[in-house]
Chains A and B, each alone.
Chain A
């Protein structure tokens, strides 16, 4: 049979399994990014703090996470670090989400910093002038404006994290790529399966981009 026929046959047999994998991929990316946003904000604040020690902590975090590949961080934390801390292996999904969160968080710190620092210094001065504390100015004046500017970079990071989920196959998580691999390891239809997997990743990312553009337009109106 030709490629198209083979492709549709593989599609019929495997799509439900691949869809489950895609769900896991999306779940991981979404959860990790949620936690990463919190981490990014927290360490972002530390990064621009006036306190030297707090700044050092932020720099150490950034240096370690951005200086090593995610793959290395993953294998190291799952097989060595976490069992050493907790005495035994922790659930792969948690470990994977943790690693992804820490990784994305480090990059988000710089995105937040860029967004915040792009806001005119006058805004902070004005905020303090009307009696707000540094924290209140951040929360009510600076951050709302900064977030609008950060959206494109934020979406970028989401896409990167989403594609990074494929590395979690190393610790056995049945995400989209690994599900595909499991299928073609048995039916040997590598090309067909990988074509479908690639298309599914593309569809997810494209959908995300459309949603992000919609959000950006809505925010621009305000």
Chain B
């Protein structure tokens, strides 16, 4: 080819290249806009209904919390799960479950990505500042768990040991309190399962968790080599967390909870999961 032919050929390729880039750019831009619009639409779904009669609520759950929330054959079930379903049914509201980690729930409520959260969440003052609680619906307490052959027999033995607890839980606050009092160290993990694994494998010396979880784990046989040390450390009550500005849902749930306790529905549900010993 002559020089001129070569140059014009190269120019043509450049032009084509520019056209393709323009098309790609436009496609990417419209994709971005579409996703943005879709994202906005999703958020509006959760918050729009707070103004009028709610037909659907988004509820956060952490399905690794047997027997309160867990999956059986892929289906979500448990004490908390069934409680919410019962309450929602009374109000003729649909429930859409959103799974997340426990310590992500309060931020999700604050940003109104969910309308409520239920995960054996203890009612306390710090949380009441940012969310409302319907309930209490369960009496619980924290316990200390160690290996059966551990040298820790009473709280004083915690000196120099490592206590592990779940991020954002009331158990963590208690662990830090005990660590300060008895000279122990605190380790923070995020899931139920890893708490027990860590103590079993020796990464930590003790864990603090809610009594019902520990009891269920021991009953299921997956907590081999672990046992509860001492009495309940605290008395706590669980509540259903609801976004701060949703007064209506709070009122409705409280009313329905009272009804369930009075007409025996609550007792039936309790016995289904925890037997007759209260």
Q: Which residues of A contact B (CB under 8 A)?
A: 79, 83, 88-89, 92, 169-172, 174, 178, 181-182, 184-188, 190
Say yes or no: is B3 at the interface (Cβ < 8 Å to chain A).
no
A188–B190 Cα distance when bound, in Å, is: 17
From the candidates B106, B127, B194, B202, name the one contacting A88 in the complex (CB within 8 A): B202
B103 touches A181 (CB 8 A): yes
6 nearest interchain CB pairs?
A89-B203, A185-B168, A88-B202, A89-B201, A190-B107, A83-B201
A169–B189 Cα distance when bound, in Å, is: 8
B198 cross-chain contacts in A, Cβ below 8 A: 79, 89, 172
Smallest CB gap from A83: residue in B: B201
A185 cross-chain contacts in B, Cβ below 8 A: 103, 106, 167-168, 172
Given A171-B189, A182-B167, 17 more A-B residue pairs with CB atoms under 8 Å apart are A79-B194, A79-B197, A89-B198, A89-B203, A92-B187, A170-B190, A172-B187, A172-B188, A172-B189, A178-B188, A181-B168, A185-B167, A185-B172, A187-B126, A188-B110, A190-B110, A190-B111
A188 cross-chain contacts in B, Cβ below 8 A: 106-107, 110, 126-127, 129-130
- Chain A CB within 10 Å, residue with most, of B129, B130, B188, B197: B188
In the assembled complex, how far is the CB of residue A62 from the closest CB belonging to chain B, in whole angstroms? 29
In the assembled complex, how far is the CB of residue A86 from the closest CB belonging to chain B, in whole angstroms? 10
Say yes or no: is B164 at the interface (Cβ < 8 Å to chain A).
yes
Smallest CB gap from A90: residue in B: B203
A187 cross-chain contacts in B, Cβ below 8 A: 126
Majority secondary structure, A binding face: helix
B197 cross-chain contacts in A, Cβ below 8 A: 79
A89–B200 Cα distance when bound, in Å, is: 9
Smallest CB gap from A186: residue in B: B126
In the assembled complex, how far is the CB of residue B199 from the closest CB belonging to chain A, in whole angstroms? 9
In the assembled complex, how far is the CB of residue A21 from the closest CB belonging to chain B, in whole angstroms? 12
From the candidates B127, B129, B203, name the one contacting A92 in the complex (CB within 8 A): B203
A88–B110 Cα distance when bound, in Å, is: 40
Query: Contacts A172-B188, A190-B107 known; A181 to B167 CB distance under 8 Å?
Result: yes
Could you give, for residues 96-132 of chain B, a 1 whenever the CB lies within 8 Å of some chain A CB and a 0 otherwise? 0000000100110011000000000000001101100
From the candidates B106, B164, B202, name the one contacting A172 in the complex (CB within 8 A): B164
Q: List 16 A-B contacts (CB under 8 A).
A: A79-B198, A83-B201, A89-B203, A172-B164, A172-B188, A172-B203, A178-B188, A181-B103, A181-B168, A182-B167, A182-B188, A184-B107, A188-B107, A188-B126, A188-B130, A190-B110
A218–B229 Cα distance when bound, in Å, is: 62
In the assembled complex, how far is the CB of residue A18 from the closest CB belonging to chain B, in whole angstroms? 15
CB contacts under 8 Å to A, within B193-251, are 194, 197-198, 201-203
A174–B187 Cα distance when bound, in Å, is: 9
B189 cross-chain contacts in A, Cβ below 8 A: 170-172
A178–B167 Cα distance when bound, in Å, is: 9
A178–B189 Cα distance when bound, in Å, is: 10
In the assembled complex, how far is the CB of residue B30 from the closest CB belonging to chain A, in whole angstroms? 28
A178–B173 Cα distance when bound, in Å, is: 16
In the assembled complex, how far is the CB of residue A188 from the closest CB belonging to chain B, in whole angstroms? 5
Smallest CB gap from B130: residue in A: A188
A88 cross-chain contacts in B, Cβ below 8 A: 201-203
Could you give, for residues 179-192 of chain B, a 1 whenever the CB lies within 8 Å of some chain A CB and a 0 otherwise? 00000000111100
A181 cross-chain contacts in B, Cβ below 8 A: 103, 167-168
Smallest CB gap from A172: residue in B: B187
A83 cross-chain contacts in B, Cβ below 8 A: 201-202
A186 cross-chain contacts in B, Cβ below 8 A: 126, 168, 173
B187 cross-chain contacts in A, Cβ below 8 A: 92, 172
A190 cross-chain contacts in B, Cβ below 8 A: 107, 110-111
Could you give, for residues 160-184 of chain B, a 1 whenever the CB lies within 8 Å of some chain A CB and a 0 otherwise? 0000100110001100000000000
A169–B129 Cα distance when bound, in Å, is: 27
Smallest CB gap from A84: residue in B: B201
A136–B143 Cα distance when bound, in Å, is: 64
In the assembled complex, how far is the CB of residue B160 from the closest CB belonging to chain A, in whole angstroms? 15
